[in-house]
């Protein structure tokens, strides 16, 4: 059951679909240095039985934690063939079913096998690899004047208000496939990766600012409105499982934009990220120099800008 | 804040309240129930009513008094009896509190008035601005807007008048857009917009009353309907930008107007085409003759009852048909 059944199904599929020399080529799609003789221990020149070759290759990718790559390749081969030849993986449905039971899921839009998120969202979207660099769009969010608020109000009211605030943020972020990577009570770092990730970050930020008005009127336990600052910047970072330890120049810049170059209740976007923002939203952004750095600023209500432009 | 006090002839409560008046920021306007006409404070939001013997013996006088006010005020009943059923009757009648005259102490009355202030917001009746300024912390903390969750639109009967908020939203496509989109596409866009707005309105306990072509009329009746409707309209106002770009993938924004008014409206669930009322006329006039595009307007009937948490988001812009009009601009005093 589980992993051993999945391994058995994969090995069966590979040994039925390929000749031994093709099994090596198949494995080299994932690891270009793969050598079946080395793996199996058969002397060079000897022919390796297909079943042994398939078993070894499956074991190898399981042991090197590249199971998702192997599953991805099997599905891809079944769909598109291999080296120009049509290949039928006879037990593909069984493999997919067992794969799902083992906590993996094939995402056709990404053409990737990812860890299933059915039991909760994962900070790696199910497929990021430790130590690899990816392009993200980061949002840094912070409650303005947090230390003053903490001094002014008792811990119960602060705790309840901040808990509600985080719930609001989480809802806006998850609805656009973002992930909270670190959170320290009054704010944190959010990452967007898939789809139209820069625009998703901008949409989320606008949504948060708008939802904050409702939050302040209905869920805020303090005797004053909570105001926030949002900084947005796109760039690279090396993924780590402990997401709160992830750091990069891009993340640093995002935090710096939010802390030093963003006014209260506004969103600041770095200059180089601006070019990836939806053209229509760009029309509503204002270039502004704040503390020596030029950023693009967005604030609510966005419609005020139209009306002001039209001189109404 | 001024509180009208309707007392029985030669009542003791006038004396007791005068002692409280010196300590608190309340100002009492004493009115002898036996001496008509009553010199009431028109926009008074809390009244104290001294019961004669029981609910039965006082309810007619009470009804006559209530009719004098433009908006149903919060009512504190001073009762001589301790009969629980008598209290229940007053509460059903809409009283916010019932105080036994024997318990009548400074502290109890102060708490009753403060409790009634909360009740005021729950019953769509606001507190005046002067009071908001006097004790900002108290007002802010007590004016958290509560969105009702337990309500039934079917409880409203056809062909009756109800005090409710009407929210009108209209969309205006420019000439280019009419050429750019086919008639079917325009219909689809409006259908989608209607669907999105309706789902937001429902979250704030409102409902779509009717929709004609490019305009929709939404109603809010339950709980703190004034503040719920205003919050819904602010949220829609800002969210429309995302609806256009993110959901509808439009490459040009559609102009719109939103207006809100509170008052007595003639209600019918379905026969909306033949409905006319001053309330409905007023909001249509504001929307069509006064409002500018991409703006959100509220009348003084809404503004005067807004929670301290949101009233600073609106600024006075002028008068129209004897109503003060305020516009949402989010230039909050504390931002």
Supply the DSSP string of B128-179, one letter for each residue: -HHHHHHTHHHHHHHT------S--GGGSPTTEEEEEEEEEEEEE--HHHHH
Tell me which of A23-37, A232-246, B5-19, B231-245 is least confident: B5-19
Select from B284, B276, B286, B279 the least CA-distant residue to B321: B286
Asked if B258 and B234 count as a contact pair (C-beta separation under 8 A), the reply is no
Query: Scanning every residue of chain B, which has its alpha carbon at the shortest distance from the alpha carbon of A280?
Result: B251
To the nearest whole number, what is the mean pLDDT of chain B? 82
Is the pLDDT confidence value at B280 over 70? yes
Residue B134, pLDDT above cutoff 80: no
B335·A210 Cβ contact <8 A: no
A106: burial class by Cβ within 10 Å (0-12, 13-18, 19+)? buried
- pLDDT score, position A158: 92
- Chain B residues with beta carbon closer than 8 angstroms to that of A300: 238, 330
pLDDT digits (tens, 9 = 90+) for A109-118: 888 898 888 8
Q: What ipTM is given for this predicted complex?
A: 0.82
Mean pLDDT of the region A102-111? 87
CA distance A93 to chain B (A): 35
Query: Measured between CB atoms, does B328 come within 8 Å of chain A?
Result: yes
Q: Which chain A residues are closer than 8 Å to B250 by Cβ?
A: 280
Q: Which residue in chain A has the smallest CA separation from B327? A: A304
pLDDT of residue B125: 39
pLDDT tens-digit series, residues A293-302: 889 999 888 8
d(CA B101, CA B271): 49
Helices vs strands, H then E, count in chain A: 13, 9
3 state SS of B317: strand
Q: Which residues of A touch B (CB under 8 A)?
A: 199, 203, 206-207, 209-211, 213-214, 216-221, 223-225, 227, 264-265, 278-281, 284, 300-304, 306-307, 312
User: Do A213 and B313 lie within an 8 Å CB cutoff?
Assistant: yes
Test B328 with A301 for CB contact under 8 angstroms.
yes
Q: Do B144 and A217 touch (CB under 8 A)?
A: yes
pTM above threshold 0.80: no
Residue A140 forms beta bridges with which residues? A189, A231
Q: Helix, strand, coil shares of chain B as percentages rounded to 5? A: 45, 25, 30
- Whether residues B292 and A307 touch (CB distance < 8 A) is answered with yes
Indicate if the pLDDT at residue A309 is higher than 70.
no
C-alpha distances in angstroms, B286 versus A184, B4, B230, B258, B291? 47, 33, 16, 10, 6
CA distances (Å), origin B32, targets B9, B38, B202:
6, 8, 45
Residue of B nearest to A224 (CA): B140
| Cα of A210 to nearest chain B Cα, Å | 6
């Amino acid at each position: 059951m589980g992993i051993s059944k999945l391994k058995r199904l994969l090995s069966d599929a590979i040994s039925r679909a390929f000749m031994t020399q093709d099994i090596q080529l198949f494995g080299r799609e994932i690891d270009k240095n793969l050598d079946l003789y080395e793996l199996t221990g058969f002397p060079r020149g000897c022919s390796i039985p297909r079943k042994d070759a398939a078993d070894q290759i499956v074991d190898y990718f399981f042991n090197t934690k590249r199971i998702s790559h192997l599953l991805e390749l099997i599905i891809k081969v079944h769909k598109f063939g291999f080296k120009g030849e049509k290949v039928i993986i006879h037990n593909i449905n069984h493999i997919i079913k067992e794969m799902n039971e083992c906590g993996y899921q094939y995402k056709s839009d990404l053409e990737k096998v990812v860890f299933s998120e059915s039991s909760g969202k994962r900070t790696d979207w199910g497929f990021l690899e430790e130590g690899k660099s990816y392009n993200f769009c980061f949002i840094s969010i912070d409650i303005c004047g947090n230390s003053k608020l903490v001094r002014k109000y008792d811990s119960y009211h602060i705790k309840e208000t901040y808990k509600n605030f985080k719930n609001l943020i989480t809802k806006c972020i998850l609805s656009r496939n973002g992930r909270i990577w670190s959170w320290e009570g009054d704010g944190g770092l959010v990452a967007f990766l898939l789809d139209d990730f820069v625009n998703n970050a901008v949409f989320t930020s606008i949504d948060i600012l708008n939802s904050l008005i409702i939050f302040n009127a209905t869920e805020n336990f303090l005797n004053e409105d909570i105001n926030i600052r949002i900084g947005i910047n796109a760039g690279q970072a090396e993924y780590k499982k402990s997401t709160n330890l992830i750091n990069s120049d891009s993340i640093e810049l995002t935090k710096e934009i939010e802390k030093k170059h963003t006014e209260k209740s506004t969103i600041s976007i770095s200059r180089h990220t601006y070019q990836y923002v939806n053209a229509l939203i760009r029309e509503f952004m204002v270039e502004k120099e704040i503390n020596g750095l030029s950023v693009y600023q967005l604030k609510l209500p966005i419609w005020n800008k139209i009306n002001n432009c039209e001189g109404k | 804040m001024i509180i009208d006090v309707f007392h029985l002839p030669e009542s003791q409560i006038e004396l007791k309240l005068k002692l409280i008046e010196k300590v608190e920021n309340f100002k009492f306007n004493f009115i002898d129930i036996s001496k008509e006409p009553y010199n009431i404070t028109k926009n008074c939001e809390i009244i104290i009513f001294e019961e004669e013997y029981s609910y039965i013996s006082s309810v007619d006088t009470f009804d006559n008094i209530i009719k004098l006010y433009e908006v149903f005020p919060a009512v504190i009943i001073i009762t001589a009896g301790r009969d629980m059923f008598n209290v229940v009757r007053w509460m059903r009648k809409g009283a916010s509190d019932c105080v036994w005259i024997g318990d009548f102490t400074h502290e109890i009355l102060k708490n009753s008035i403060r409790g009634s202030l909360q009740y005021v917001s729950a019953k769509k009746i606001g507190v005046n601005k002067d009071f908001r300024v006097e004790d900002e912390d108290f007002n802010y903390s007590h004016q958290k807007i509560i969105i009702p969750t337990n309500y039934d639109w079917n409880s409203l009967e056809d062909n009756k008048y109800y005090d409710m908020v009407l929210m009108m939203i209209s969309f205006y496509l420019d000439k280019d857009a009419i050429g750019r989109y086919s008639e079917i596409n325009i219909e689809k866009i409006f259908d989608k917009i209607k669907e999105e707005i309706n789902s937001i309105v429902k979250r704030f306990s409102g409902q779509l009353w009717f929709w004609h072509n490019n305009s929709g009329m939404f109603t809010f009746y339950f709980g703190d309907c004034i503040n719920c409707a205003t919050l819904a309209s602010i949220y829609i106002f800002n969210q429309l930008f995302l609806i256009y770009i993110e959901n509808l993938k439009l490459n040009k924004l559609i102009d719109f107007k939103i207006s809100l008014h509170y008052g007595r409206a003639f209600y019918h669930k379905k026969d909306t085409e033949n409905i006319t009322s001053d309330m409905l006329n007023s909001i249509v006039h504001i929307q069509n003759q006064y409002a500018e595009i991409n703006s959100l307007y509220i009348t003084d009937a809404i503004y005067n009852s807004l929670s301290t948490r949101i009233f600073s988001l609106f600024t006075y812009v002028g008068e129209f048909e004897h109503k003060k009009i305020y516009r949402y601009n989010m230039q909050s005093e504390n931002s």
